[in-house]
Amino acid sequence: MSAGDVVGIVANGALPYEFDAITREAVPVGDYVVVRTADGSEVLGMVEGTTINSEIMEVARNFSDASEAGELALRNPRDKSYSSHVRVLGLLDGLRSGEVRMPSLPPVPGSTMRRATPEELSAAFGGPDRRWFPIGSLLRSPSVRVHVDVNRVASRHLAILASTGAGKSNMLALIAKAIAGLRGTMVIFDYHGEYAGLDLGGRGRPVMPVVNPRHLDPDELADLLEIREGAGKQRHVLEEALSGARDARDFWGSLREGVEGQEDDREYREPARRVADIIESALRRFGSVLDPDSPPPLRLLAEGYVNVVNLSELSPRQADVVISRYMEEVLADRKRSRSGEPGVLRKPVVLALEEAHVFIPGGREDRTKTRETAARIAREGRKFGVSLVIVSQRPQRLDQDVLSQMGSLAVGRLLNQRDRSFVQDSSEFLTEEMTGYLPDLNPGEAILVGQWVKLPAMVKVDRVEEKLVGMDVDAVGEWSSWGGPSEDTDEFIRR
Ligand SMILES: Nc1ncnc2c1ncn2[C@@H]1O[C@H](COP(=O)(O)OP(=O)(O)OP(=O)(O)O)[C@@H](O)[C@H]1O
């Protein structure tokens, strides 16, 4: 069957925005088709679901019936009927010129449905100007390149959701490369240290996650030092000591003194000792993150670059403090810039957060600092040119309010049913049929919906060649590449 061929006939009950068709053979989900509406205009549609029915099999009620009926059905080609459910995407004429206009009339039942040609699809998915960048090719028409709108990513937020290993970081890397190419500003909160080796054409910048403890509130410092949330007395000791140390020349010396000074009070003796130990141990482990002489986060970010904040050495709670600090300051600075005051970041900023379900969780009890800030950015960031890209493999754990504010979605293979339902409930863009298809996607394939694409698209995403971290380890290959003679157990024990 070649492109443009008639593939089906419109069935009864067609609506302007969706219809069923009886098809010649099974039409794959994700295929694009063209039908004529009652006034003769051509509309483009996407196949969202396909069913194969066998009349003979209908009567089979037990195994022997079924196996006999199955044989008969296989021999009789007229036994099968094929049907597809099609979502109307827009008038073909409008799509050719980049405009999405819906028809006001449905297609006429009995009229023919043909496959869209690669030329029609290339016009619909093309990128007319530099706002658009190519992210991959249509899964069902590989010659058609699919472009996405960077302006929408930078103003209306994006969620990249898929199970582990389905290609989320690869997609974020592609977006980072596009933004770097446009000399845009992006901050990636890199929880696994995955983006260090990315080729950003000289516009990537590694950022150490340094935080100045003087600028933290007592709870934030307690979180960074990993004082338990329920340890009220220890937190109180720290709070008292911090108020005296904030402006001291020797911050840590003054903080220690402030803590030790509270050992005279019997009630706080033990908590103060514990806090003194915690401070020493924290400084040994991640003293480099807490620098009382470091500039505020904004000074560490470079405008016009992709700033990669490496959080791989931090615990989730520490990373939470760092991320929320950076996000808060970026938002506050952009508000200043927008109101005409001198800000550091004069142009829009895209903030990308990996493992978003850890930092923007939905549960009432999981109150992270990042969640508050991210919720604010999701709601009002658009006005100030701050957008979020959230990346997660456990969407059901995400804050639903934040997820529902995402103007665009890239959803890859999602195996967990609850994850799929959660995403569908949180987004106006994903239909039930599309959601049902998510478990069948392969790594690197995704459904793109929302404002960053002209039309919903099932895409084979381009692979970022240099992005090697994240690849599954070839353990067998690596083990078998040992050089030299192998040592037996006795030799090993003697050694
Ligand atoms: N578009 C693609 N084409 C081909 N291979 C891809 C594509 N995207 C990802 N892969 C491959 O799939 C594997 C996982 O990719 P990636 O690290 O991007 O997934 P992930 O969803 O971020 O995984 P994790 O949740 O474990 O971080 C890698 O080996 C990567 O090279």
Residue 215 DSSP code: G
469 lines ligand 1 (CB under 6 A): no
The burial class, CB within 10 Å (0-12 / 13-18 / 19+), for 485 is: exposed
- Domain map of the chain by residue range? 6-120, 146-200+301-478, 213-286
User: Which atom in ligand 1 lies closest to the alpha carbon of residue 391?
Assistant: 22
For range 483-492, the mean pLDDT:
63
What tens digit of pLDDT does each residue of 222-267 get?
Answer: 988 888 888 999 999 999 999 989 889 999 999 999 999 988 888 8
Please answer whether residues 4 and 31 qualify as being in contact, where contact means their C-beta atoms are separated by less than 8 angstroms: no
168 lines ligand 1 (CB under 6 A): yes
pLDDT category at 2 given cuts 50, 70, 90 is very low
User: Which atom in ligand 1 lies closest to the alpha carbon of residue 166?
Assistant: 21
Output the pTM of the full model: 0.85
What pLDDT does residue 160 have? 97
CATH for 146-200+301-478 is 3.40.50.300
Please, what sign has the CA dihedral across residues 353, 278, 251, 284?
Answer: negative
As a whole number of angstroms, the distance between CA 55 and CA 471 comes to: 46
Higher pLDDT, 151 or 196: 151
Expressed in angstroms and rounded, the spacing between residue 315 Cα and the centre of ligand 1 is 24
What tens digit of pLDDT does each residue of 322-333 get?
Answer: 999 899 999 999
> Is the pLDDT score of 376 beyond 70?
yes
pLDDT category at 468 given cuts 50, 70, 90 is low
Quote the percentage of the chain above a pLDDT of 70.
94
The ipTM of this complex is 0.96
> Is the pLDDT score of 3 beyond 60?
no
What tens digit of pLDDT does each residue of 310-352 get?
Answer: 999 888 888 998 999 899 999 999 999 888 888 788 899 999 9
Mean pLDDT (the chain, rounded):
89
What tens digit of pLDDT does each residue of 421-445 get?
Answer: 999 988 888 888 888 889 999 999 9
Q: What is the DSSP string of 314-373?
A: S-HHHHHHHHHHHHHHHHHHHHHHHTTS--S--S-EEEEESSHHHHSB-STT---HHHHH
What pLDDT does residue 488 have? 66
Residues ≥6 apart with Cβ < 8 Å to 445: 139, 167, 412, 413, 458, 459, 460, 461
426 lines ligand 1 (CB under 6 A): no
As a whole number of angstroms, the distance between CA 37 and CA 184 comes to: 43
Expressed in angstroms and rounded, the spacing between residue 27 Cα and the centre of ligand 1 is 28
pLDDT category at 1 given cuts 50, 70, 90 is very low
User: Which atom in ligand 1 lies closest to the alpha carbon of residue 170?
Assistant: 18
